[in-house]
């Protein structure tokens, strides 16, 4: 026999009321079972198949007032009003949900109410629960279904009320918006749904009033559902709330609040929320934030720059080292509507950093599609020339600018820049930084044509920009780097360039194709070639070459180098034709090697950057500190939010065992203290650091020290983790700062480096002489990179000594070099070059990768002389 929901409830109610009368008197379950059997037998006799509540009441004699005392309801029951539930409780939220999913209207204008699939699921639950509850009230579902519906209603009311409160402030604008534009139903729908959810809760509490236990059960289910809803909502929003609270605190003017915010964020590490704040566009009324971000932005909006600084201070990393967090529904919506460039980080289609000095956000759809590095090592001159060719592809529907910072080999200089226009190579013009930037910005940003620009940003760091990478198209560029082989601990070693900051992704399956050649044998710890397990280098009739396919990680690694042992002892004296000699001047340049010994460092202060970036290397740093000989006067400082004195290296090594590096810190206070101490002891400072991707306030204090200190204190800046470094860039001009040292293995290289400083290591220097005629026949004749690099050394000497900008820039441009004074720009047409007073390099004079073995000296001289003659014919200067 089937019992209706109400009949079951009536039976429960009766048994419960009797039990309240006589709590110790009888077994409740037994009585319920007996009564149920009795009622069924009674009704079987009547031929009834469904047990209704009325029949139960009649059989049980609930009218027997002296026995059954049922509490009287306090309020009159609400009417169900199914139509109202259908309109506002089911249809309205469904329409609003679908509308927002497919159009993103609210996300575009106010805030994103559905930032994740979880939000969609939560909102979708509301109409479902309303529908289930309506069915239950109409007696269409089972008792179990009704209980589920009541529980879900508890969950739904939390979600519906949360969204109702969010949209309530927008409600006053709805009516005028509807009248004016016919739009604005969104807040009405959401608020109406919230009201229905609350009303449904009242229906649940007031229905079946004569049935107290059933109502109590439903109240408990409703409460349970509401608690579950709150927990679910908290799970979705809490990380964002913590992230936003921490972020707002971290940008406070109050130092204590700021420290508290950073501490909170470092504890919870809401990396994705912070990255979202870094990438979120600043324009617009709300900036398209999610709900939590929108609420917190009402009081004070955190700018991108502020968020990026906080991101560094919390994670110790650069925000654009990672792509924008998944836009969730926004990304899907953008793709599904074919507006594929209207992605998360560039929602409004603008690129804030276009033509600027910052690499900026990762641009969706922009990828590096191909990469090849060709290099030639000349063991006689101990110089190398590398060319890095890159192809960028743009999958979006808007032209994009590719920007990157490249870490050059130590003391390297960009000596060539090429852009492919319509399949033809166009060489760069070299001129003053301001002029090439002006040309680039004018052509790229305003005229949106094809330029590429390279500038120096810091020691061994350049910025490369090219625009436009056309929509659904590609752009190909190449830049050449002239660099000396290592003269220090690893003579004959050539470091490869690497990307330290970029606004593009790496194409799937991208590898860097490496070809290094030399007349002498080559060795490298880099991965094997694609062909399989082959020798470290290959010998052929043309000399030696080494070919590798490197993934991005391998190119970024400290092992990204090639050793040419034959170059470890360069020729004492070499000469070359100087193709850059001024008209009428001598054309032969001779370089002579001299050895000198640096004064030993008697006192050393080691500053360890306590940022998260160093954490993976903490063990190696500890090992290195332990290996440093104790007799030296060495002390260690740890740079965190506060300066921590760690004492002597062995003691510091022990202390660091228990110190986890979390966050990103400003190393300047520790450096200032270290420099002061070193100045008093006539010592030096070694700074082991990670990236400093943001410009932190208060940058003048260190510069002041270097400007005013009567005795220059050498600062050896050793970057343990490659990455953007604004702090190092700010120290570029300081002669006392030595950034070139590269450690492959800290545990070994740091003690060796300290030992070299302590003993006063021998260094290799060169002197240059120029002559009208060829030097002695015995002097080896080498390539014109010697003259190019000599020009670079002259420029840098002038740079450090504060020489004339114009004269030095002319010198740099004349040698086709990108230096602190000069940049390189490739424009699309000669007309554009002329308009900006620029003269592109003659293709016959630019640096090239020579064949192996090198051409005979006679041929070399002939080629150089030919290039020189052509150059002389070019009467006007490009400056």
Partner 1 sequence: MHSSGVAGAFENWTVQARKGILEMAVLTALAGGERYGYELVKSLVAVPGLTVTEGTLYPLLSRLRQLGWIESRLVESSEGPARKYYTLTSDGRDALALMKTYFTGVTGALEQLQAAVPKTTNRKRKTS
Contact residues: partner 1, CB under 8 A: 14, 18, 22, 25-27, 30-31, 34-35, 37-38, 40-42, 44, 59-62, 64, 66-68
Task: Convert 642-659 to b/e letters by CB count within 10 Å (16 or more is b).
Answer: ebbebeebeebbebbeeb
Quickly tell me which residue has 């529908």 as its tokens: 131
Task: Judge whether 684 and 713 are in contact, CB under 8 Å.
Answer: yes
The DSSP code sequence of 818-850 is B-SSEEEEE-SSHHHHHHTT--BPPTTTS--PP
DSSP annotation of 170:
G
CB of 15 to partner 1, least distance (A): 8
* Angstrom distances, CA of residue 55 to CA of 19, 62, 115: 21, 11, 53
- Minimum gap (Å) between residue 235 Cβ and partner 1: 47
- Rounded distance, CA 659 to CA 248, Å? 28
Instruction: Look at residue 850 and give its three-state secondary structure.
Output: coil
Q: To the nearest whole angstrom, how small is the minimum distance from the Cβ of residue 41 to partner 1?
A: 5
**Residue with Cβ nearer partner 1 (31 or 230):** 31
Q: Which two tokens stand for residue 514?
A: 């490496």
Minimum CB separation of residue 14 from partner 1 in Å reads 6
Tell which residue, 483, 482, 496, has the closest CA to residue 526: 496
**Nearest approach, Cβ of 65 to partner 1 (angstroms)?**
8
Give the integer Cα–Cα distance in Å for 827 and 530. 36
Q: Are 164 and 195 in contact (CB under 8 A)?
A: yes
Give 211 or 779: the residue with its C-beta nearer to partner 1: 211
Work out whether the CA dihedral 610, 614, 616, 622 comes out positive or negative: negative
Helix (H) or strand (E) run with residue 143 in it: helix 143-167
CA 357 – CA 433 distance, rounded (Å): 12
Q: How far, in Å, CA of 565 to CA of 523, rounded?
A: 8
Cis peptide before 105 (omega within 30 of 0): no
Q: Which C-beta is closer to partner 1: that of 67 or that of 830?
A: 67
Give the nearest distance from C-beta 30 to partner 1 in angstroms.
5
Residue 24 Cβ, how far from partner 1 at the closest point, in Å? Answer: 9
Which residue's CB is nearer to partner 1, number 37 or number 50?
37
Between CA 11 and CA 17 the distance in angstroms is 10
Shortest Å, Cβ 51 to partner 1:
14
Q: How far is CA 285 from CA 96, 275, 477, in A?
A: 22, 20, 39
What's the closest the beta carbon of residue 213 comes to partner 1, in angstroms? Answer: 15
Give yes or no for a contact between 833 and 827, defined as CB atoms under 8 angstroms apart.
Answer: yes
Strand partners, 458: 461
**Residues sharing a CB contact under 8 Å with residue 479, sequence separation 6 or more, in sequence order:** 387, 388, 406, 414, 416, 417, 418, 454, 462, 464, 824
DSSP letters, 643-660, are EEEEESHHHHHHHHHT--
**How far apart are CB 39 and partner 1 at their closest, in Å?**
8
Question: Any residues with CB less than 8 A from the CB of 169 and at least 6 apart, and which?
Answer: none
Report in angstroms how near the CB of residue 62 gets to partner 1 at its nearest: 7
In order of 205, 300, 308, the CA distances from 11 in angstroms are 19, 59, 65
856: which DSSP letter?
A: P
Contact predicate 222/246, CB 8 Å? no
Nearer CB in complex with partner 1: 56/150: 56
Q: Which is nearer to partner 1, 56 or 826 (CB)?
A: 56
Tell the smallest beta-carbon distance from residue 22 to partner 1 (Å).
7
42 versus 761: smaller Cβ distance to partner 1: 42
User: Are the C-beta atoms of residues 397 and 444 closer than 8 Å to each other?
Assistant: no
Spatial separation of the C-alpha atoms in residues 418 and 453, rounded to whole Å: 10
CA 584, CA 867: separation in Å to the nearest integer?
15
Pick between residue 58 and residue 680 the one whose CB is nearest to partner 1. Answer: 58
| CA pair distance 19, 31, nearest whole angstrom | 10
**Minimum CB distance to partner 1 smaller for 66 or for 531:** 66
Closest CA to 742 of 431, 408, 470: 408
Rounded least distance, CB 12 to partner 1, Å:
13
**Cβ 7 to partner 1 shortest distance, Å:** 14
Q: How distant, in Å, are the alpha carbons of 51, 643, 730 from that of 620?
A: 79, 21, 28
737 strand-pairing partners: 715
Structural tokens at position 595: 């050895």
User: Could you tell me the smallest distance in angstroms from the CB atom of residue 6 to partner 1?
Assistant: 17
Please state, in angstroms and rounded to a whole number, the distance separating the CA atoms of residues 660 and 663.
10
To partner 1, the closest distance from the beta carbon of 207 in angstroms equals 23
Nearest Cα to 506, choosing from 321, 694, 721? 321
- DSSP 8-state secondary structure symbol assigned to residue 692: B
Q: Which is nearer to partner 1, 43 or 278 (CB)?
A: 43
Provide the β-strand partners of residue 766: 593
Indicate the residue among 59 and 536 with the shorter CB distance to partner 1: 59
Say if residues 105 and 99 touch (Cβ distance below 8 Å).
Answer: yes
Minimum distance of partner 1 from residue 149's CB (angstroms) = 30
User: Smallest distance from the beta carbon of 216 to partner 1, in angstroms?
Assistant: 20
């Amino acid at each position: 026999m089937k019992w209706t929901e109400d009949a079951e409830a009536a039976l429960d109610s009766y048994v419960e009321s009797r039990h309240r009368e006589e709590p110790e008197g009888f077994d409740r379950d037994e009585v319920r079972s007996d009564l149920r059997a009795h009622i069924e037998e009674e009704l079987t006799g009547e031929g009834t198949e469904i047990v209704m509540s009325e029949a139960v009441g009649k059989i049980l004699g609930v009218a027997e007032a002296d026995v059954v005392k049922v509490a009287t309801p306090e309020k009159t029951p609400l009417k169900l009003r199914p139509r109202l539930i259908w309109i506002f409780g089911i249809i309205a939220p469904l329409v609003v949900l679908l509308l927002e999913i497919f159009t993103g209207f609210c996300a575009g204008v106010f805030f994103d109410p559905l930032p994740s699939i979880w939000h969609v699921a939560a909102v979708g639950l509301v109409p479902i629960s309303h529908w289930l509850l309506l069915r239950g009230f109409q007696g269409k579902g089972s008792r179990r279904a009704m209980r589920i519906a009541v529980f879900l209603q508890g969950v739904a009311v939390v979600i519906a009320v949360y969204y109702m409160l969010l949209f309530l402030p927008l409600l006053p604008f709805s009516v005028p918006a509807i009248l004016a534009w016919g739009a604005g139903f969104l807040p009405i729908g959401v608020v109406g749904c919230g009201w229905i959810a609350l009303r449904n809760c009242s229906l649940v509490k007031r229905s079946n009033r004569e049935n107290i236990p059933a109502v109590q059960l439903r109240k408990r289910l409703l409460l349970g559902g509401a608690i579950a809803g709150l927990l679910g909502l908290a799970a979705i929003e809490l990380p964002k709330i913590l992230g936003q609270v921490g972020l707002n605190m971290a940008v406070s003017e109050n130092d204590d609040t700021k420290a508290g915010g950073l501490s909170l964020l470092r504890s919870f590490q809401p990396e994705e929320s912070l990255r979202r704040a870094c990438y979120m566009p600043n324009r617009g009324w709300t900036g398209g934030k999610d709900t939590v971000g929108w609420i917190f932005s009402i009081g004070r909006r955190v700018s991108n720059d502020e968020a990026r600084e906080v991101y560094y201070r919390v994670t110790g990393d650069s925000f654009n080292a990672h792509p924008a967090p998944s836009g969730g529904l926004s990304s899907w919506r953008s793709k599904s509507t074919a507006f594929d460039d209207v992605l998360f980080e560039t929602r409004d289609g603008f690129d804030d950093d276009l033509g600027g000095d910052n690499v900026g956000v990762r641009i969706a759809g922009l990828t590096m599609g191909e990469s090849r590095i060709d290099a030639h090592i000349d063991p006689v001159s101990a110089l190398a020339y590398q060319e890095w060719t890159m192809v960028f592809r743009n999958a979006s529907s808007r032209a994009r600018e590719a920007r990157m910072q490249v870490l050059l080999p130590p003391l390297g200089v960009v000596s060539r820049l090429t852009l492919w226009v319509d399949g033809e190579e166009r060489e760069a013009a070299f001129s003053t930084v301001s002029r090439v930037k002006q040309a680039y910005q004018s052509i790229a940003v305003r005229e949106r044509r094809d330029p590429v620009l390279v500038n120096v940003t810091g020691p061994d760091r350049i910025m490369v920009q090219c625009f436009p990478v056309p929509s659904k198209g590609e752009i190909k560029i190449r830049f050449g780097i002239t660099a000396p082989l290592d003269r220090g601990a690893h003579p004959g070693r050539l470091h490869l360039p690497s990307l330290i900051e970029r606004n593009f992704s790496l194409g799937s399956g991208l590898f860097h194709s490496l070809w290094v050649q030399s007349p002498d044998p080559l060795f490298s710890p880099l991965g094997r070639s694609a062909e399989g397990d082959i020798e470290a280098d290959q010998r052929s009739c043309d000399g030696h070459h080494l070919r590798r396919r490197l993934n991005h990680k391998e190119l970024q690694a400290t092992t990204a180098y090639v050793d040419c042992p034959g170059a470890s002892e360069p020729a004492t004296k070499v000469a070359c034709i100087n193709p850059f000699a001024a008209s009428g001047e001598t054309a032969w340049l001779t370089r002579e090697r001299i050895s000198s010994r640096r004064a030993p460092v008697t006192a050393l202060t080691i500053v360890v950057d306590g940022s998260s970036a160093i954490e993976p290397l903490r063990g190696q740093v500890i090992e290195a500190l332990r290996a440093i000989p104790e007799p030296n006067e060495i002390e260690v400082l740890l740079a965190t939010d506060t300066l921590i004195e760690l004492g002597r290296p062995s003691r510091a090594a022990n202390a660091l065992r228990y110190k986890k590096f979390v966050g990103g810190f400003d190393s300047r206070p520790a450096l200032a203290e270290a420099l002061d101490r070193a100045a008093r002891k006539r010592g030096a400072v070694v700074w082991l650091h990670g990236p400093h991707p943001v410009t932190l306030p208060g940058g003048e204090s260190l510069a002041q020290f270097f400007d005013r200190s009567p005795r220059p204190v050498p600062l050896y800046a050793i970057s343990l983790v490659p990455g953007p470094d604004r702090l190092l860039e700010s120290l570029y001009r300081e002669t006392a700062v030595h950034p070139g040292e590269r450690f492959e293995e800290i545990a070994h290289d740091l003690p060796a480096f300290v030992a070299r400083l302590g003993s006063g290591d021998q260094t290799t220097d060169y002197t240059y002489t120029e002559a009208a005629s060829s030097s002695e026949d015995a002097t080896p004749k080498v390539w014109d990179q010697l003259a190019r690099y000599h020009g670079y050394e002259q420029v840098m000497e002038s740079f450090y000594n504060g020489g004339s900008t114009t004269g030095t820039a002319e010198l740099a441009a004349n040698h086709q070099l990108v230096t602190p004074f000069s940049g390189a720009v490739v424009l699309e047409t000669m007309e554009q070059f002329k308009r900006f007073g620029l003269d592109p390099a003659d293709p016959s004079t630019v640096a090239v990768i020579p064949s192996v073995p090198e051409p005979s000296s006679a041929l070399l001289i002939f080629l150089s002389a030919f290039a020189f003659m052509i150059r002389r014919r070019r009467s006007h200067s490009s400056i």
